[in-house]
Amino acid sequence: MEDAEAERKRRQRKRSVAIAWILAALVVLFFVVTIVRLGGNVAVRPI
Amino acid sequence: MSDATIQAIPAQHDVALGGDIADYAALLKPRVMFLVVFTALVGLVAAPGTMHPVLAIAALACIAVGAGASGALNMWYDADIDARMARTASRPVPQGAVSPDGALAFGTVLAIGSVLCLGLMANWVAASLLAATIGFYVVVYTMWLKRSTPQNIVIGGAAGAVPPMIGWAAATGTVSLESFVMFLIIFIWTPPHFWALALIRAKDYERAGVPMLPVTHGLDETRRQILIYSLILAPLGMVPAVMGFGGMLYTVVTSILGAFFVVFAVDCYRTREGEEAERAAKHLFAYSILYLFVLFAALLVEQGFGFDNGALPFNWAL
C-alpha cells in the first residue's frame, strides 16, 4: 500500500515537472515569436 | 457476433496511480504525428514566398500537438475497441495506465491550445483548418464512421490528408490548388494503405466488431478495392509534375514509386492463399509507407533546397 502511494506521488511529481517545463517552453516560444512578428524595427523606437 | 464472444484483454495497471510521462506521450500516437508533421512541412515549404524559421517551427509544433490531441481523443473514445484488439490492447487507456477522463481532458486541452497557438503564431486560416481536422477525425471518423461503415477509412482518411494544406495555409494564409492536390494524393493513398493492414488484421477487427472492408465484404473484394485505388493513385502522383510544382526529381520519383505501388497491389490482388497472401499484404503495407514518405521527400528536397527554382523557403530576416 505504501509502495503504491509512493509510486503515485512519484508519477504526480513527474507530471508536474513536465507541465512546468512545457509552460516555460511556451513562455520562451511566445516571447521569440512576438519579437519575430514585430520585426527588427521594434528596437528602433523613440524612448 | 454477440457481445459474449468479445473478450477484452485485461488491463495491467492501476488507474489510481495516474499515468507516467511515457503513457501520455503514447496517447499522442507519435508515429502518426511524425507523418503529419512531415507532410505539413512539405506543404509549408512548397508554398510560395518565404517564412521565418522560428514561425515555421512554431506552426509545425502546433500542427504536431493538434495531431497528438486527435490521437488522444481517439484513444479516449475507442478504448473499448482497443481493448479487444491485439494491435491496440497495449495502449494506455485499455491498459489502465491513463483513465478515460484523463485522456479526454489531455486531448481537449491540447486540441484547444494547439488551435489557439496556431492562430496567434501563424494565421486563423491555418488554425481553422487544424480545428476542422481535429473535429472531423474525432467526431466524424472516430465517433461515427469507424463503427458504422466499411467506408470509414475512405472518408475518415480526409483528416489525415489535410496537414499539407495546413502547412501551406500557415505560410500563405490561403488554400490553393497545389495544396489541394497534395491533400488528394494522401486521401487516395489512405484506403490501400489501411486495407493492406486490415487484410492482415481482419480477425482482430472482426473480434472488435469494427466493420472494416475485409470483415464486411471479404478479403477478395478488399484486394479488388486496393487495386482500384492504386490505379488511381499512380497517375494522381503525376499531377504535381504536370502542374509544375513538382520538378524533374519529383517526376522521376513519382513515376517509379507509382509503378511499384501498382506492382505491389497487383501482387496482393493475385496472391490470395496462405502465408504468401499475408506476405503480399504486408509488403504492400510497408511499401505504402515508403511511397508516401519518399514522394513527399522529393517535393521537400526540390522546394526546400531550391533545386526547383533556386528560391529558399525560409528567411531569417526580422
User: What is the domain partition of chain A in residue ranges?
Assistant: 2-40
Q: What is the separation of C-alpha B129 from the centre of its chain, rounded to a whole number of angstroms?
A: 15
* Cβ of residue A8 closer than 8 Å to a chain B Cβ: yes
Between A and B, how many CB-CB pairs are < 8 A?
38
A34 to chain B: closest CA residue = B121
Distance CA B46, CA B40 (A): 10
Q: How confident is the model at residue B176 (pLDDT cuts 50, 70, 90)?
A: very high
Mean pLDDT along residues B136-161: 95
Query: How many Å lie between the alpha carbon of B173 and the closest alpha carbon of chain A?
Result: 15
Q: List pLDDT tens digits, range A6-39.
A: 888 888 999 999 999 999 999 999 999 988 888 7
Backbone angle region of B47, left / alpha / beta, with phi > 0 → left and psi within -120 to 50 → alpha? beta
> Quick one: what percent of chain B has pLDDT higher than 70?
91
Mean pLDDT along residues B198-218: 93
Q: List pLDDT tens digits, range B103-118.
A: 999 999 999 999 999 9
Distance CA B292, CA B197 (A): 16
How high is the ipTM of this complex? 0.82
B98 to chain A: closest CA residue = A11
Please give the model's pTM, rounded to 2 decimal places.
Answer: 0.89
Nearest to A12 among B18, B52, B317 (CB): B18
Q: What is the pLDDT of residue B273?
A: 87
Q: What is the pLDDT of residue A7?
A: 85
Q: What is the pLDDT of residue B274?
A: 85
CA nearest B201: which of B94, B296, B85? B85
Per-residue pLDDT for B310 more than 60? Answer: no
Q: Spell out the residues 6+ positions from residue B228 whose beta carbon is closer than 8 angstroms to its own.
A: none
Q: List pLDDT tens digits, range B15-55.
A: 667 788 999 999 999 999 999 999 999 999 999 888 899 99
Q: What is the pLDDT of residue B226?
A: 97
Q: List pLDDT tens digits, range B229-273.
A: 999 999 999 999 999 888 999 999 999 999 999 999 999 999 998
* Cβ of residue A46 closer than 8 Å to a chain B Cβ: no
The CA-CA-CA angle for residues B314, B168, B46, to 5°, reads 55
Per-residue pLDDT for B11 more than 70? Answer: no
The CA-CA-CA angle for residues B240, B246, B250, to 5°, reads 110
| Mean pLDDT estimate for chain B | 91
Q: What is the pLDDT of residue B163?
A: 97
Q: What is the pLDDT of residue B305?
A: 75
Q: What is the pLDDT of residue B13?
A: 62
Query: How many Å lie between the alpha carbon of A22 and the closest alpha carbon of chain B?
Result: 12
CA nearest B214: which of B202, B224, B203? B202
| Listed range (B31-35, B69-73, B79-83, B300-304) with the worst mean pLDDT | B300-304
Cβ burial, residue B255 (10 Å; 0-12/13-18/19+): middle
Q: Which of A15, A33, A42 to mutate to test the interface with B (most CBs of B within 10 A)?
A: A33
Backbone angle region of B218, left / alpha / beta, with phi > 0 → left and psi within -120 to 50 → alpha? left
Q: How confident is the model at residue B5 (pLDDT cuts 50, 70, 90)?
A: very low
Instruction: Mark yes or no for CB contact A18/B20 under 8 Å.
Output: no
Mean pLDDT along residues B134-162: 95
Cβ–Cβ under 8 Å, residues B283 and B267: yes
* Higher per-residue confidence, B123 vs B316: B123
Q: How confident is the model at residue B201 (pLDDT cuts 50, 70, 90)?
A: very high
- What is the torsional sign of CA B195, B196, B198, B199? positive
Using a CB-CB distance cutoff of 8 angstroms, which residues of chain B are in contact with residue A35? Answer: 318
Cβ burial, residue B215 (10 Å; 0-12/13-18/19+): buried
Per-residue pLDDT for B1 more than 50? Answer: no
Distance CA B264, CA B280 (A): 7
CA nearest B9: which of B100, B93, B85? B85
Distance CA A17, CA B48 (A): 41
- B4-8+12-304, CATH topology level: Farnesyl Diphosphate Synthase (1.10.600)
Domain regions of chain B by residue span: 4-8+12-304
Q: How confident is the model at residue B303 (pLDDT cuts 50, 70, 90)?
A: confident
Distance CA B238, CA B243 (A): 9
Per-residue pLDDT for B284 more than 90? Answer: yes
Question: Per this entry, what is the length of chain A?
Answer: 47
Question: Per this entry, what is the length of chain B?
Answer: 318
Instruction: Mark yes or no for CB contact A11/B24 under 8 Å.
Output: no
Q: How confident is the model at residue A1 (pLDDT cuts 50, 70, 90)?
A: low
